[in-house]
Structure 1
Amino acid sequence: MGEIKMAETGGQALIRFHGISKTFGRVRALTDIDFSFLQGECVGIAGHNGAGKSTLMAVLAGVFEPTQGKIEVDGAPSPRYDANVARHAGVRCVFQELSLCANLSIAENMCIVHPQLRGRGWRRRATALMREKLEEIFPGNGLIGTELVSDLTLTQRQMVEIARAFTVTDAPVRLVILDEPTSSLDAHTAEQLLAFVRKAAERGITCLLITHMLGEIQRVADRVMVMRDGSIVSVLGRENLSRETIITAMGEHLEADKTPDALRARVERAAGPQYQWTLGVGSRTKIDASHGEVIGFAGLAGQGQTEALLAIYEAATSRGAGRAKVAFVAGDRGRDGIFPVWSIAQNLDLRWLSGGTATGTRRRPGFGLVDFAAARAVVEAWRVKIGIRGASMNAGILSLSGGNQQKVLFARALASDADLILMDDPTRGVDVGTKRDIYQLVRDEAAKGRTFIWYTTENEELSHCDRTYVFRSASVTRVLHADECTEEALLAASFEEQAA
């Protein structure tokens, strides 16, 4: 596709792509990309999982060398564009899969991408730089810069990664790639980041925002690049920017979201809660759920929602009369979800490890062996349901984009025989079309009697829940029914003290 520019931006081309293509063996990830990244603009990048967005950004960051095409930096051709050239051009990147070293402190992680921080007093300088940038982007974050990364929440690690990318040591920061930067942030922290991105663009820093949160693109982007199957299919100017135009360019059909009226009616007819948990020592935080109910967990990130899910998992699987079959969809897929050296199929159908079985998988009588023909059938059925395309199920899980990896984890839970599904922000980094499919799957499975407890940082997803528990400081402040779960009510409850 030919290059499209917005006349009113008026910025100079910082980096220009001419006919960039990238192949991995027989897989063509990018095809004939022409685009100019202009100084001081915010470019939103939208597309399905596997559309080529992350690959394009990896080329821009110098991680991948293009198979063909030319790259210009400040109007001059770059014979060999690699990570070194990109860094000297002022390119920084926050990849979707975080790159912090868990056994190092925040300040020590600064030195990985800022090797100039050395000599006497480097630790003090690194800590000061990080605290200053964290406070600029995320006011009131509470981090001091000396914490071990392993002790941080997923939200805090995302904040550190973002602040590290915007920190200036030697070379100026001129272009920052943000790949799904708000996927681990709550609504309040995400708003802080978006406000900073807009200010950074106004100061002349080019910001590239890859996100499936189309509302975020609408708020901050000057232009939107829409990708599909490794190509740019449209470049939308701000005057044409709406959720509808973006979705249409992605090739999606617009459908009204179905409200969960049927679910609410069914739950109201239930005899009463079949699951009940009391969380925390001496806590009054009680969670209950009926069979077939979809329960939401909400509130600002890091307020105890994930810990509550883990406590429920432990209580539900402990030996005793109330033991249940439970599946857990991890929010931090890199640390707690995927098995990186295994295939897509093995990651999806691994219940046999603990003696469980996937729905439809049978053990051969008398031998305790898995019926692998049945297992393959289950994997293939879920491959179609979750829409994994362009990769063999025998390929490594890391060959998939981050969003597609998340879809595999979701499919793993639903393919199991679990009655209770615990979900820790399961649609993080998943495209709008797949989200809609996931919502439908949740409704269908709930209608069959499965219970879902769903922590999400996307408040609009709570409309699919029958009831929502709002957390603050590891306690529930309010319980909102579906028709009460407005943005205003959620915000008010997120800052309340524990309910009486």
Structure 2
Amino acid sequence: MELNTIMDEMKNQVLLKADHFTKIYHPTVAVNDVSISIEKGDILALVGANGAGKSTLINCLSGVVNCNSGEFFFNGQAVDLARYNPAVARNIGIRVVHQELSLCKNLTVYENFYVEQSQNIKTGKQWRKKAQIMAQNALERVFPGNGIDVMAVLGALSIEQQQMVEIARATSDPNMKLMILDEPTSSLPAEQTEQLQKYLIKTAKEGITYIYISHRLNEIMAIANRVFIMQNGKEKWQGTIQETNEEAMVKLMGEGISQSDEKAVVSDKLPDINQNISVLCNSYTTKKLRNINFEIFGGQIVGLTGLEGNGQLDLLQDIFLKAGKKIDGLNVKGKVAYVAGDRKKEGIFPLWSIEDNQIITKTANYSLFKCLSSEWVKDSVDYWYDKLHVKSDGKKALITSLSGGNQQKVLIARALAADADIILLDDPTRGVDQPTKNALYQVFHEAAQSGKLVIWRTSDDAELNFCTNLFVIKNGEIVGSFEKDKVSHEEIIKLSFKNEEEKNKTSEKRKFTAPLFSFAFIGMIAIYIICAVKSPLLFSGYGFELMLVGFAALSLCAMSQTFTIGLGHIDLGVGNFCALINVLCCTLLHDKPFVGTILLIASFLVYPLMGYIIYKRKVPAVIVTLGMSFVWLGIALSIQAMPGGECPSWMNIIFYSETPIGNILCYWLIGLIVVAILVYRSRYGTVLRGFGNNPVAMVNSGWKQSKAYISIYSLAGFFALMAGIFTSAINNASDSTASGTYTMLSVASVIIGGGYFSGGVVTHFGSVCGAVILTMISVLLGLFSVSTDYTASIQGLMLILILSLRLFKRKESKA
């Protein structure tokens, strides 16, 4: 009785109250004077058509965007909206599962937990172990028997597993009071969806509050106790779940398509078969698909189903990529268009308008110099714009101005407008509201009626009823097939989960993955051995020291560049900065130590300043660093126009002197490599790596982007400074132009060492290996009596060779 009394009192306590929230993106009023109140233990369903303002509202409630006006109260306390941000939201107990995953794919599962829950892993040296335990417990609590390896890199997981990580990560905060879930089940299969629902209902009874956004109205009816419907940025209706039903909610959303229209599509007669369009598989086998056999033709809507990651997407992509090619076991007859599932990464062109995004596939099918008529473009864009009810400020608006669901409509319109014979759909209705889904179902059906072949991979089991044929794929094989009106959901589930326990057991064994630097390390050893065989002196300590002198400074420039490229930037001035430091050391530091020291410190401080400018003014890094490259060179030439100068004697002693155990330069270099690796492996280094992959996710987790930029450029500046000091100690003189080539060589070193220009994936040891390779190429040419004029060409060919091997390896892993 006492427990019931406590729960009743809790239910009557207001947790969140937002009054008159307004957010304007000129000229659109995304949230228009919305007031919402949520009590403790509520599961509030936030419902509305695409573009209704749901995502903007939750972004305001979670501090991702700032309101133009309104008042906000949380847990009885007023919140200052002027200073409200994701970090404040996290501190008061608000967590968000965004529709677009806010995870860093370059980090491991447990590292993703750490960057989100760092405030709960403050003490102790075993932070990695604590993060691993946190990740394991959270995943098992929400998704029992998930089979996810928390040590795995997130990018290696399937989309459904990444979604599970995103949800479990948000639940792991012991101080969480409110969780906002935006389309959390869009990528989850039935079993995990049911597990999540049970978890939400159980924890709501314990006092956790939820805002749940979903276009799957049956889910809302199953778990929510209150409903808040939005339309055009305003409140349309709110009330208890008992006061409404699915049909009423669809009607209130105002799209004008009822559930009865959906049923009419299902009841239509089957289209006629068009054998001029077909996909034929005869024992088709790849690395991920085995013995695929089927014949499908125009006039059919073919569904691909089964548990996520069992080969459905691989089959879909193979049909698209191999169409028109002679492939054993696969014959595709007809023009193919593909609607990608990851619209952000593979679908939209973010800098283009809605119109340009819609017609690009049609344009690609034309000859190089043939133009689309302006009349066709206008008619086509207008037709599909109206047909799919795209909500925007006009067809010339950037596609990024649309909501996620409206972006998806444009991608579907792109495929349909291209006049393709075969339309491949990768979960096309993910994140799309129910009225729009109904319109799309009708469009797909009309395409099949006109003789086209539609192949549809879906994560929503209810959509299987719209297919004329259905294949269940398990472990890369077709384990079952159904025709329309003979679909058995029970049988599909049985086939999908058959022997799943055995699969989970075997998946626990983590595959060995070669380190990023493996190609560079092997290449470095191979070149060194070849050189040493040709000149045995290189096997001696003296020979190694000669080699060390050649690559030490470049290695430090490469490590500096590694930090920059790890952020997704490029430093085009590192070589000239190294030269400036060299000049300052051998002139002013030698003649006027105090002035020289001040100038060295001032030069170093310009690096974090560059990072801040790049962040604050949104200026591309290549522009800032290229401009500073000329500044570094100009200052160096004004101080010392011709080579000369002398390094301070104390610098020679500290950085380049012989000891009983070898030259001290070697130990400095090893120490700095270790420092760079430890920094990147540290707690905050993990955060910096996260910013290199997904800065939006890191900001949403409460980390400051300005601090990350300043930190990265400070580290890059320090290693570039050390490169200049090493150059001075080794040469005992300075040259304003001698280090200029280090800029491009350092970039090449990072890429050879396993790094990617996209950011987030780099390795300092690999970069050093790359620098050694590029340095030793000139030695190798000299040993074989080849002119050093070919050094740059050979270095370029080496870069291309290693990149080709990496690309080949990636292609093989996907085959």
Normalised by the length of structure 2, the TM-score is 0.56
Indicate conservation of the 8 Å contact 1:155/1:301, yes or no: yes
Indicate conservation of the 8 Å contact 1:11/1:40, yes or no: no
Q: Residues of 2 paired with 1:221 and 1:94: CA distance?
A: 17
- Bigger drift between 285-294 and 319-328 goes to 319-328
Whether 1:477 and 2:479 are equivalent positions in the alignment is: yes
The residue that corresponds to 1:92 in the other structure is 95
> Larger % of helix: which?
2
The residue that corresponds to 2:48 in the other structure is 47
2:361 alignment partner AA:
R
The residue that corresponds to 2:192 in the other structure is 189
SS at match of 2:207: coil
> Larger % of strand: which?
1
Which digits, 9 at most, give the CA deviation of each residue in 1:213-232, with x for residues without a partner? Answer: 00000000010111111111
Q: Residues of 2 paired with 1:287 and 1:144: CA distance?
A: 35
Q: How big is the shift at 1:272?
A: 10
Normalised by the length of structure 1, the TM-score is 0.90
1:78-157 equivalent positions in 2, closer than 5 A = 78-80=79-81, 81-116=84-119, 117=121, 120-157=125-162
Which digits, 9 at most, give the CA deviation of each residue in 1:151-172, with x for residues without a partner? Answer: 1211111111111111126xx0
2:220 alignment partner AA:
I
Indicate conservation of the 8 Å contact 2:189/2:307, yes or no: yes
Q: Residues of 1 paired with 2:186 and 2:9: CA distance?
A: 31
Which digits, 9 at most, give the CA deviation of each residue in 1:136-184, with x for residues without a partner? Answer: 1112211121111221211111111111111126xx0111110011111
- Bigger drift between 252-261 and 270-279 goes to 270-279
Matched-pair identity in %: 36
Indicate conservation of the 8 Å contact 1:279/1:311, yes or no: no
2:349 is aligned, of 339, 349, 364, to 339
The residue that corresponds to 1:230 in the other structure is 233
Indicate conservation of the 8 Å contact 1:44/1:224, yes or no: yes
- Bigger drift between 36-45 and 242-251 goes to 242-251
- Bigger drift between 179-188 and 211-220 goes to 179-188
Structure 2 CA distance for partners of 1:333 and 1:287, relative to 1, 3 Å = farther
Structure 2 CA distance for partners of 1:99 and 1:341, relative to 1, 3 Å = farther
Gaps of 5+ in 1: 1-6, 358-362
Whether 1:244 and 2:267 are equivalent positions in the alignment is: no
Q: Residues of 2 paired with 1:452 and 1:407: CA distance?
A: 16
1:258 alignment partner AA:
A
The residue that corresponds to 1:4 in the other structure is none
The residue that corresponds to 1:276 in the other structure is 280
The residue that corresponds to 1:38 in the other structure is 39
The residue that corresponds to 1:434 in the other structure is 436
Indicate conservation of the 8 Å contact 2:469/2:481, yes or no: yes
Q: Residues of 1 paired with 2:362 and 2:471: CA distance?
A: 33
Structure 2 CA distance for partners of 1:479 and 1:121, relative to 1, 3 Å = same
Which digits, 9 at most, give the CA deviation of each residue in 1:98-141, with x for residues without a partner? Answer: 12122221122223322334662222211211111111111221
Q: Residues of 1 paired with 2:349 and 2:130: CA distance?
A: 37
Indicate conservation of the 8 Å contact 2:271/2:300, yes or no: no
- Over the residues paired in the alignment, what is the CA RMSD in angstroms? 2.4
Whether 1:490 and 2:492 are equivalent positions in the alignment is: yes
Structure 2 CA distance for partners of 1:336 and 1:287, relative to 1, 3 Å = farther
Structure 2 CA distance for partners of 1:427 and 1:9, relative to 1, 3 Å = farther
Q: How big is the shift at 1:447?
A: 0.9
Q: How big is the shift at 1:317?
A: 3.7
SS at match of 2:323: helix
Q: Residues of 1 paired with 2:350 and 2:253: CA distance?
A: 30
Q: Residues of 2 paired with 1:167 and 1:491: CA distance?
A: 30
Indicate conservation of the 8 Å contact 2:247/2:259, yes or no: no
SS at match of 2:55: helix
1:446-457 equivalent positions in 2, closer than 5 A = 446-457=448-459
Indicate conservation of the 8 Å contact 1:32/1:231, yes or no: yes
Q: Residues of 2 paired with 1:450 and 1:246: CA distance?
A: 33
Structure having the higher Rg: 2
Q: How big is the shift at 1:259?
A: 4.7
Alignment: residue pair count:
480
Q: How big is the shift at 1:424?
A: 0.9
- Bigger drift between 248-257 and 480-489 goes to 248-257
1:417 alignment partner AA:
D
Q: Residues of 2 paired with 1:272 and 1:264: CA distance?
A: 17
1:10 alignment partner AA:
K
The residue that corresponds to 1:3 in the other structure is none
- Bigger drift between 95-104 and 439-448 goes to 95-104
1:438 alignment partner AA:
L
Structure 2 CA distance for partners of 1:368 and 1:265, relative to 1, 3 Å = closer
Whether 1:201 and 2:204 are equivalent positions in the alignment is: yes
SS at match of 2:463: helix
- Bigger drift between 118-127 and 219-228 goes to 118-127
The structure, 1 or 2, with the larger RCO (C-alpha pairs under 8 Å, 6+ apart) is 1
2:395 is aligned, of 393, 397, 414, to 393
Q: Residues of 1 paired with 2:222 and 2:267: CA distance?
A: 31
Gaps of 5+ in 2: 1-7, 501-815
Structure 1 segments (4+ residues) deviating >6 Å: 270-273
